[in-house]
Amino acid sequence: MPDGITIEMLGPQNIDEVGPLWKALLDHIAALPEALVPVRPSDESWPLERAVMLEALKGDAFVLVARREGKAIGYLFAIIEGPDPVWYTGDTHAELGHLSVAGPERGNGVGSALLDAMDEELARRGVEDVEIGVDTGNVVAANLYESRGYRPDFRLFYGSPGNKPWACLRREEEDRKAGRGRFAPPGP
């Protein structure tokens, strides 16, 4: 555990503490050199993501938060899924939904400490398998996971029917022209 860092479970009532860290993760994904599918603006994305997290937290999902002097500087969101149909996983397996560390705290071992805490929690619950989705081009994250024993599994591709130009880019271009979405002028 890095000096001065504590890690604890975050209850649903305190979920907004990690809103800024979700936004930091979104900015990180958007800046990846191989990012092809544009992300939503964070003020549009957080309410949607927050709703997904709160729904999952009614079940077996959990959020771990890392703090320095009481302030949230990183978090992870883990979801418990049913059995994988291809690989043997027991009756449940975990999916790491988010892992975010605030920019100034990156490289200090906070991410590894959060992953250690997740492993402890999963061991306590008897969950033996974990799946993680890493955005294409997020090499630092992929290397961290591979160093922890994770191996490549399925690869998700994005496309449009009939090899047409990608709909996501067309939609973003329309937003740009109309000044909508992340191209909307700053609010009052």
Partner 1 sequence: MNLAASDPAPVDPRPPCTVEIVQPAELDLDTLEPLWASLLAHHAALRPELPARSRAGSWARRRPQYERWLASPGSFAVLARRGPGLVGYALVEIQEPDETFVTGPIAEVHTLVVAPSERGAGLGSAVMDTVDAELDRLGVADVLLDYLAGNDAAARVYERRGFVPFVNALYRRRQTATATEEDA
At a CB cut-off of 8 Å and minimum separation 6, what does 26 contact? 39, 40, 42, 45
136-141, long-range: CB < 8 A, 24+ apart: 136/32, 136/34, 136/35, 136/36, 137/32, 137/33, 137/34, 137/35, 138/28, 138/29, 138/32, 141/99
* Piece of the chain touching partner 1 by CB under 8 A; list 3-11, 62-70, 104-112, 161-169: 161-169
DSSP SS3 for 161: helix
Closer CB to partner 1, 71 or 180, in the complex: 180
CB 46, min distance to partner 1, A: 9
Contact 52, 7 (CB under 8 A): no
Give yes or no for residue 158 binding partner 1 (CB under 8 A).
Answer: yes
CB 47, min distance to partner 1, A: 9
Binding mask 57-86 for partner 1 (x = CB under 8 A): -------------------------xxxxx
Interface residues with partner 1 (CB under 8 A) are: 26, 29, 34, 36-40, 45, 48-49, 52, 82-90, 122-123, 128-136, 142, 145-146, 148-164, 166-168, 170-172, 175, 181
